[in-house]
Structure 1
Amino acid sequence: MSVHELAPRTPARQQMSVDEFEELARRAPEMVRLEFVNGKVQVKSGPDGNHGEIVMWLLEHCMQQRSDLRLYPEQGLKVDAYRKGRARPDGSLAPRENFVGQGEWAEPGGVLMTVEVTSRDTDTNKRDRVEKPDGYAAAGIPLYLLVDRDARSLTVHAEPKNGEYRSTRTYDFGDVVALPDPVGITLETEKLKDYAD
Structure 2
Amino acid sequence: MLKVKVKPVPDGNHSEIYMWLLERCMSLRPDLRLHPERGLKTETYRRGRARADAVLVPKGGLIGHGEWSDPETVLMAVEITSYDSDTNQCDRVDQPEGYAAAGIPVYLLVDRDDCSVVVFDQPEGGRYRHAEKLPFGATVTLPAPVNITLDTELLKELAD
- TM-score between both structures, scaled by the size of structure 2: 0.95
Distance 1:116 1:42, change over 3 A: farther
- The correspondence of residues 85-100 of structure 1 with structure 2, limited to 5 A, is 85-100=48-63
Distance 1:175 1:105, change over 3 A: same
> Match for 2:22: what amino acid?
L
- Contact kept, 8 Å, 1:78 with 1:84, in 2: the verdict is no
- The correspondence of residues 31-110 of structure 1 with structure 2, limited to 5 A, is 43-82=6-45, 84-110=47-73
Distance 2:127 2:8 in 1: 25
Q: Percent identity?
A: 59
Deviation at 1:97, TM superposition (A): 1.4
- Contact kept, 8 Å, 1:112 with 1:183, in 2: the verdict is yes
Confirm or deny that 1:127 pairs with 2:85: no
Confirm or deny that 1:111 pairs with 2:74: yes
Confirm or deny that 1:140 pairs with 2:103: yes
Deviation sequence 1:108-167 (CA, Å, 0-9, x none): 111000000000101000000000000000000000000000100000000000000000
Equivalent of 2:150 in 170, 176, 187: 187
> Match for 1:59: what amino acid?
L
- Contact kept, 8 Å, 2:55 with 2:76, in 1: the verdict is yes
Distance 1:59 1:147 in 2: 13
- Contact kept, 8 Å, 2:45 with 2:94, in 1: the verdict is no
Equivalent of 1:156 in 119, 124, 128: 119
SS in 1 for 2:145: coil
> Match for 2:98: what amino acid?
G
Distance 1:68 1:54, change over 3 A: same
Counterpart of 1:28 in structure 2 is none
Cα RMSD of the aligned pairs, angstroms, is 1.7
Higher-RCO chain (CA-CA 8 Å, sequence separation at least 6): 2
- TM-score between both structures, scaled by the size of structure 1: 0.77
Deviation at 1:81, TM superposition (A): 4.0
Deviation sequence 1:6-52 (CA, Å, 0-9, x none): xxxxxxxxx99xxxxxxxxxxxxxxxxxxxxxxx9865431100000
Distance 1:41 1:184, change over 3 A: farther
Counterpart of 1:37 in structure 2 is none
| Higher normalized strand content (fraction of residues) | 2
Distance 2:28 2:7 in 1: 30
